[in-house]
Amino acid sequence: MSAQAPCDAGLIQTPKGAECSHPHWVLAACILASSLSFIDGSVVNVGLPAIGKSLAGGNGGGDAEGLQWVINAYLLPLSALLLLGGALGDRYGKKTMLLAGVALFGLASAACAAAPNLLILQIARALQGAGAAVMLPSSLAILGAVYSGEARGRAVGIWAAAGAVAGAVGPVLGGWLIDVSDWRAIFLLSLPVAFGALVLAWRYAPSLDEGRPSPLDLWGGVLATLGLGALTWGLTLGSGKAGWGPEAIAATGTGAGMLVGFVFVEKARGDEAMMPLGMFGSKSYIGLSLLTFALYGALGGVLILIPYLLIVGQGYSATAAGAALLPFPLIIAVVSPLIGSVAGRIGSRWPLTLGPLGVAVGFALMVRVPGGGYWTTVFPAVVVMAIGMAGAVAPLTTAVLSSVDARHTGAASGFNSALSRAGGLIATALLGAVLASRGEQLAHDFRVAALIGAAAALVAAASAFVLLRDEKRPRDSGANK
């Protein structure tokens, strides 16, 4: 995904000022590690049509469910295991888990590039997601421990800017590689980045004093993963050609039941849970959770469909389709800090209401894209959508941390980050009909999906306006992830 997820627990739960003689090299290692996820999340969207032609047969429409799982096999472990990844860092060492996560991601990327069929590609993508879930919390935690005070703010700003650049360059470079070589080359992009992150982290990252680790919430992680997996599988079947038959209904019901069981497990574990239920005592946090799920879910679905429509429906090259979304991360990188400053003065409620409203307008403009020219249809819609998203990214981080008490800030920010990925996971599961259609039907289904995205963004805006109340005493916003 080109837009960075709202926030992360990493900078909140780590010791400050760890001794390090080469902090800039540590910053470089953390940037490279995080960029693996940013690059991978954007280039695969551009490569989806080529993967369909190569592995799904024919024009790529023969196995829409398989193509959905190329995306969701990555998002599922990332969204379900992100909080557990942070706990693993506390228990076994953040440097150890950073190295393990980057190594797993790199090996899985090589397996993606060599995959002979969709099943192997999906398994390798799942391993990529597990690697990202382990490395992302530890990467940001190490960065937060090495820097302190004003230097930490500058380091996080550089880290965030580098993520925006990776999200912008990734689709263009990936599209070019597809045009001149093969879709497999987009996964090889990760190998030198992973190697650089491993070398720098091994050489320069400090081994932190982790303190007394909390017990791992293994049952919570298992239930969240299996529940999200079954729910996603059921929604994927239901949105595809087979429709809502017995298998789709059974899988969806099983997944929903497992997620209910996950809630009961978390309630029994209290504050030791990966998702402490105490933080939902805040009406503001409930509103922010609804906003995150709806907004990032809609965004994740549309960012998959735009390059798919341009390549399959309108004959764009992969390079051109990747470049079509270039304004999105660039505008967010420039405008988001300005909106963050405004939100610091007036509070987060209005930016988080107006921002999603802008995103809804951008989605509505997307109905003009099929059959239209880039500068008259795609570009205006992407610009409006990006400006609206920029209004939400920075204020969301601050609002999440201000909506719960101090003992829940880490869990609240981590869960909110995981929830943004889960939104994209569910949205992708519902795209089966669009990915399987061609010609005028593809254009029609794209317009319907854009309008559904606009409705979801309106739900996000309403959640902020109705449920969010600005705190009188703002807290440290941590990292804008």
Name the nearest CA neighbour of 463 among 196, 284, 275, 197.
Answer: 284
d(CA 426, CA 297): 7
Q: How far apart are CA 176 and CA 205, in angstroms?
A: 34
The residues, any chain, with a CB within 8 Å of residue 120's CB and separated by 6 or more, are 111
**b/e code 259-285 from CB counts within 10 Å (16+ = b):** bebbbebbeebeeebbbbbbbbebebb
Straight-line distance from the first to the last Cα atom of the chain, in angstroms, rounded to the nearest whole number:
12
Q: Give rounded-to-5 percent helix, strand, coil for the chain.
A: 80, 0, 20
- How many beta carbons lie within 10 A of that of residue 165, not counting itself? 16
Is the pTM of the predicted complex or chain greater than 0.85?
no
| Domain extents in the chain | 23-208+218-467
CATH, domain range 23-208+218-467? 1.20.1250.20
Q: How remote is the C-alpha of 379 from its chain's centroid?
A: 23
Q: For each of the chain's 481 residues, which pLDDT tens digit applies?
A: 446 565 555 555 555 545 566 888 988 998 899 888 878 777 888 888 889 888 865 444 446 778 888 988 998 898 888 878 877 887 788 899 999 999 999 999 999 999 999 999 999 999 999 999 889 888 877 877 787 766 776 777 677 777 777 777 888 888 898 999 889 999 998 999 999 999 999 998 887 655 556 677 888 888 988 998 899 889 888 887 778 888 889 999 999 999 999 999 989 988 788 888 888 888 999 999 999 999 999 998 888 899 999 999 899 999 999 899 889 888 888 887 788 778 778 888 899 999 999 999 999 999 999 988 999 999 999 999 999 998 888 788 778 878 877 777 767 778 888 888 888 889 888 888 888 888 899 999 999 999 999 999 999 999 999 998 765 444 444 433 3
Q: What is the DSSP letter of 214?
A: P
Angle at 340 between CA 337 and CA 341, to 5 degrees: 95
